């Protein structure tokens, strides 16, 4: 398959310029079909296909693990990014006076699970993000003495990418655990949690991974499972769960963090999305996104509009934000014109994916040029 056939997976392109994958993405047709197929199974045969569904869940877990750069045993399905980050914050053993660091300002999900620890006497310190950037020299002054550092890999407003390898190195040098919100990277930018040495990572599936809402994945480094006391426990958390025994024996894998019955249809749809991402390939995805972003940058510059997002290697991401003197009015105009973008931090945030192309860029600028006329 090539670009034209991949683009056909997305019905939204017929009447919409969709540059909003950093919010809630459309799902490809194969994902929709996979989810509907499970509902059809339920409708026609109730639970007759249960064990086939287990195989389907296993296949999707394998695909998610490959996307993360790990093995399936280290990946758990959760409800969203917040669920995964909360497993870490709430699962670690804390003592009064312990310290956790968060990158800030950041998406609230990165901070709130840590703020909840204040009730246990835990102190929260901030690693400043200035215009989305995390200065590692500054971070190095704040991380020592912390038990945990929680950060997002990409700033949700400016799209500035963090030097993840550098941050992880600082954490481990200081004896701190590193937990990452990878939702604005995974599916758009290559992520390899194993080679980076990340301790924990979490992401919802509904943005760059093109999956359903209300489903997330959680990664735990091998050997760290026992550091986290189970926040929620159920029959699926146990070894030999399908035997429904009465012995409390947690799985040794990340599966211990999956307490009960799962949303098979959502996982099936997610598996369909991951199959498309695998088919296209991480390098092709990244280069296709950057090609669209470069074209958008050129067009914005021609119109005298300033790009807020960094474009340098190592800092750029799949998010492009630009300033406009009437940004909020422009946002409303674009959305009414079926150009889907976001209004964040007083700027317009664009977030194209691999199936977007020059036709979307041309239509975006045609509509943009009509603003105020």
What are the structural domains of the chain? 3-19+281-369 (3.90.1150.10), 34-278 (3.40.640.10)
Q: How far is CA 297 from the centre of its chain?
A: 24
Residue 1 has pLDDT above 80, yes or no: no
Beta strands 200-204 and 339-340, pairing class: unpaired
Q: How far is CA 373 from the centre of its chain?
A: 38
pLDDT confidence of 172, banded at 50, 70, 90?
Answer: very high
Task: Considering only CA atoms, give the Rg of the chain.
Answer: 21
- Please state, as a whole number, how many other Cβ atoms lie within 10 Å of the Cβ of residue 76: 26
Contact between 244 and 253 (Cβ < 8 Å):
no
At 2 the pLDDT is: 87
- Please state, as a whole number, how many other Cβ atoms lie within 10 Å of the Cβ of residue 64: 26
If you average pLDDT over residues 224-245, what whole number do you get? Answer: 95
Residue 320 has pLDDT above 80, yes or no: yes
Residue 78 has pLDDT above 90, yes or no: yes
If you average pLDDT over residues 9-27, what whole number do you get? Answer: 98
Express each pLDDT in 254-310 by its tens digit. 999 999 999 999 999 999 999 999 999 999 999 999 999 999 999 999 999 999 999
At 197 the pLDDT is: 98
**Beta bridge partner(s), residue 128:** 104
Q: For the chain, what is the mean pLDDT?
A: 97
Residue of 334, 318, 345, 369 lying closest to 25 (CA atoms): 318
Beta strands 347-350 and 342-344, pairing class: antiparallel
At 373 the pLDDT is: 73
Express each pLDDT in 86-116 by its tens digit. 999 999 999 999 999 999 999 999 999 999 9
If you average pLDDT over residues 154-183, what whole number do you get? Answer: 98
Look at the pTM and tell me if it is higher than 0.95: yes
Distance CA 253, CA 239 (A): 9
Q: At what angle do helices 108-115 and 81-91 cross, to 10 degrees?
A: 30
Half-sphere exposure in the Cβ direction for 139 (13 Å, CA): 29
Contact between 356 and 341 (Cβ < 8 Å):
no
């Amino acid at each position: 398959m090539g670009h034209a056939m991949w683009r056909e997976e997305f019905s939204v392109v017929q009447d919409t310029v969709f540059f909003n994958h950093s919010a809630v993405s459309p799902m490809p047709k194969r994902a929709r079909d996979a989810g509907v197929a499970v509902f059809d199974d339920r409708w026609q045969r109730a639970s007759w296909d249960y064990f086939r569904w287990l195989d389907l869940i296993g296949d999707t877990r394998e695909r998610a693990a490959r996307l993360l750069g790990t093995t399936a045993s280290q990946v758990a399905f959760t409800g969203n990014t917040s669920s995964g980050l909360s497993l870490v914050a709430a699962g670690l053993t804390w003592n009064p006076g312990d310290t956790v660091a968060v990158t800030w300002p950041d998406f609230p999900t990165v901070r709130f699970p840590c703020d909840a620890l204040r009730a246990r006497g835990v102190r929260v310190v901030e690693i400043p993000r200035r215009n989305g950037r995390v200065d590692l020299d500054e971070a190095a002054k704040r991380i020592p003495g912390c038990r945990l550092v929680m950060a997002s890999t990409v700033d949700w407003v400016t799209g500035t990418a963090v030097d993840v390898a550098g941050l992880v190195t600082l954490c481990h040098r200081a004896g701190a655990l590193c937990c990452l919100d990878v939702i604005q990277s995974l599916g758009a930018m290559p992520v390899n949690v194993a080679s980076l040495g990340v301790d924990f990572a979490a992401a919802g599936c509904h943005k760059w991974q093109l999956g359903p809402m209300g489903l997330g994945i959680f990664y735990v480094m091998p050997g760290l499972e026992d550091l986290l006391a189970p926040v929620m426990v159920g029959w699926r958390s146990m070894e030999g769960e399908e035997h429904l025994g009465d012995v409390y024996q947690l799985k040794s894998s990340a599966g211990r963090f999956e307490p009960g019955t799962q949303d098979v249809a959502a996982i099936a749809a997610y598996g369909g999305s991951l199959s498309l991402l695998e088919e296209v390939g991480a390098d092709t995805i990244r280069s296709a996104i950057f090609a669209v972003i470069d074209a958008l940058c050129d067009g914005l510059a021609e119109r005298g509009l300033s790009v807020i997002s960094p474009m340098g290697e190592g800092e750029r991401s799949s998010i492009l934000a630009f300033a406009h003197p009437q940004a909020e009015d422009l946002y409303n105009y674009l959305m009414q014109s079926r150009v889907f973008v976001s209004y964040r931090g007083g700027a317009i945030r664009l977030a194209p994916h691999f199936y977007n192309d020059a036709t979307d860029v041309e239509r975006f600028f045609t509509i943009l040029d009509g603003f105020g006329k």
